[in-house]
Structures are given as C-alpha cells and as structure tokens.
Amino acid sequence: MAKKQTLGRNAPPSGDPMKWLVPALLAGMATLHWRKMQAPPFPPSPRLTWEPPRNTPKVSFLVPAWNGRQDIEAFVSAYRALSYPHKELVLCVGGRDEGFEIAKALSSADVLVLEQLPGEGKQRALEKSLACSTGEIIYLTDIDCRPNDDVLHNLLHPVVEGRADVVTGASRPLDSQMQVGLVRSHWAVERATQPESFEPTDGILGRHAAVRREVLESTRALEVPAPSGTDYTLAKELIAHGHTVYFVPGHPIPSEYPADLRTYAHKQGRWVRNALVLGARYGAEAEVRAVQRTLVMPYALLGGLLAGLFGVRWLGLGAILAALHAVLNRVGLQRRARLKVSVRGSLLHLMGDQWAALKAGADALRRRSTW
C-alpha cells in the first residue's frame, strides 16, 4: 500500500498539456505584439527645399501603356502640371482598348506617342522609347502613376547634382484607394521595408526610377531580353556593369495598387516568380533563399492545419499561431504608417501572399515567364 502511494506522488501530472500551452503561447504572442505596438511611427517625408536650376538637364519620361486607356488622360494631365522646365514624355501605347488613338489625340511638341505592337512587351517598348527620346536623364514610370513636383524633384535632385547616376524611390497608393483595407496593409508592409536614408540598394522600382542616358546606352541594359521582370533585369544589368543604384527616401509616387485579392495575388505571384527565376540567373543567392522560404509558407500553413484536423494538434496550433502572428504584424505596421487599421485587410493580405506563393511556384515549375 505504501509503495502505491509513493508511485502516485511521483507520477507525472495528468491532464491535457494544451490547456496550459495554448494560454502561455497566446500570452507570449500578445506581449510580443504589444511591445511592437510601442514602436514609433514611420517618419514622414522630409520637407523638400530643392528646386531645379535654370540650366537643368532635360528629362525624358518613358512610359509603356499596354491596355492603359483608362489612365492615359490622367497621366498626361499630371505630366503637364509638372513645373520641371526641360522635359518630354514618350508614350508607347498598345492593346485592344483603343488607347493608342486616345494618346495620339494628346500628342504635342513634348508628348511623343509610339505604338506598342502585340508581343513586344514592356522591355521592347522601353527600348523603342529610349531610341526616340532626347533627354539626358531617363525617368521610368508607369501609366497608372501620378507624378507631381515633390515626387519628381525629390528623386531627380541627386542625379542633377551629380551624386548618383541611377536612383529609385518608393510608391504609395492613390488617395482614392486608401479606404481599401487590403491596399493599406500592402502599403504598410512595403513602407516597413524601405530604407530611411539615401543609400545603395539592389533593386529598382520600375514605376519610379531615373537613370542617366549614357548609362543606359553604354550598358545596353534595355536590350537584354526580359519577357518578365523588366525592373529586376534592369537593376541587375546596371549593377553588373559597375553602376550603383541609390534609394532616395521620401515623397513616394502615387500609383494604383491592386485593390482585390485576385489582382494582388496575380501581381505578387509574378514578382515572386521573377525574383526566383531571375535571381538564380544573376547569382542573387540571398534573394533566392528568401523567395524559397516564401514558397514553402503556404504548404507549411496548410499542412499544419490539416495535421491538426487529423489529430496532430500541436501542428495545427502552430499553423494557427503563425497565421495570427502574420496578421498582427500587418496590423502593427499599419499603425506605424499612421493608417486606419484593418484586421480584415490584414487577413486578406496574408491570404493573397499565400495564393501568390502557390501561383509563383506553379509558374516556375511550368517555366512560365510571360510578362
């Protein structure tokens, strides 16, 4: 009898460990994200005091517009409102939406309209536009962007002053899109990854970049075939030829962001696929490893949830906590970006990222590389 009592006192505690493990993990996560919430907001764009000098170099805007009819008039209007004195716009327009006819009606002495033919793609459109342009500085942007003086002057002044030959900046959603939770979450994550100072970077944002003409001509970077990943290819080609790409913080260009889950997943999936395929081509091992981790994530989450349904509860719990952690991260970044927080938008953003990763992986396996 005494022996049985001793064994009873030394036996492991009974009960389900999940009863204390789940609250402990939730408490730890709550503490972690509470601390993150105390981080200061991202700094606003600094006041811009630079003005273009009288003898400023000419800037050529190169803007491909495939099926961009709905944006052509608004873009040309924004371009004409710019105060930069010496500039020209080269639009390369194509598609099935009659955008070419609309653009031709807006052509003028400083607005040249070229036709983009089916199958040419963005890279060939830029190459054609460069050949017809005359500016000393080439400004690259997209038809769904809305440049203004602060945006343009902020990006150009390091080039005009001779501090850089290649610069790129950031973008932000159009004001009309700021009520969309998915858009706010997307932009908040972008904002968190941007440098806060003028410094070298390894990529180019193709909708907001400027390059000296002689750099493009000497490297012939726009002649390199790029059925997809024009921006990525351009950056890697310029860097391979010894040029440094500088990031210019502040004053992001207003641009149309994907406002629904399907469009976001399509565009993000294309970006992930390009980083995987082109990163391997250019020997960007760190970027490729980061993308590989991204590609694994949806399978890990889905696998964990399925395992939980079939009785492996700790895997199911891990998947749920990982998803919750990702959503809370997005919520915290929206707060730091001084945006109205959207939990639903954060969840949609997480779902879009997983959809994009699945799509990118499938495209890479099928060797699909269309723009």
| Residue 162 CB-half CA count within 13 A | 0
Question: Nearest 5°: phi and psi at 269?
Answer: -65, -40
CA dihedral 184, 185, 191, 193 (to 10 degrees): -170
pTM above 0.75, yes or no: yes
Question: d(Cα 340, Cα 285) in Å, to the nearest integer?
Answer: 37
Res. 226 pLDDT band, cuts 50 70 90? confident
Question: d(Cα 289, Cα 253) in Å, to the nearest integer?
Answer: 30
Res. 13 pLDDT band, cuts 50 70 90? low
C-alpha pair distances (Å), 149 with each of 112, 152, 156, 169, 343: 21, 5, 10, 14, 34
Res. 1 pLDDT band, cuts 50 70 90? very low
Question: Nearest 5°: phi and psi at 308?
Answer: -65, -40
Tens digits of per-residue pLDDT, 37-96? 889 999 988 888 888 988 999 999 999 999 999 999 999 999 999 999 999 999 999 999
Q: Which sequence spans correspond to the domains of the chain? A: 59-258, 260-371
Question: d(Cα 272, Cα 274) in Å, to the nearest integer?
Answer: 5
Tens digits of per-residue pLDDT, 148-182? 999 999 999 999 999 999 999 999 999 999 999 99
Contact between 236 and 282 (Cβ < 8 Å): yes
Let me know the angle formed at the C-alpha of 298 by 295 and 303, rounded to the nearest 5 degrees: 125
Tens digits of per-residue pLDDT, 327-358? 999 999 999 999 999 999 999 999 999 999 99
In this prediction, residue 347 carries a pLDDT of 98
In this prediction, residue 14 carries a pLDDT of 53
In this structure, which topology does domain 59-258 adopt according to CATH? Spore Coat Polysaccharide Biosynthesis Protein SpsA; Chain A (3.90.550)
Q: Hey, what amino acid is at 258?
A: P
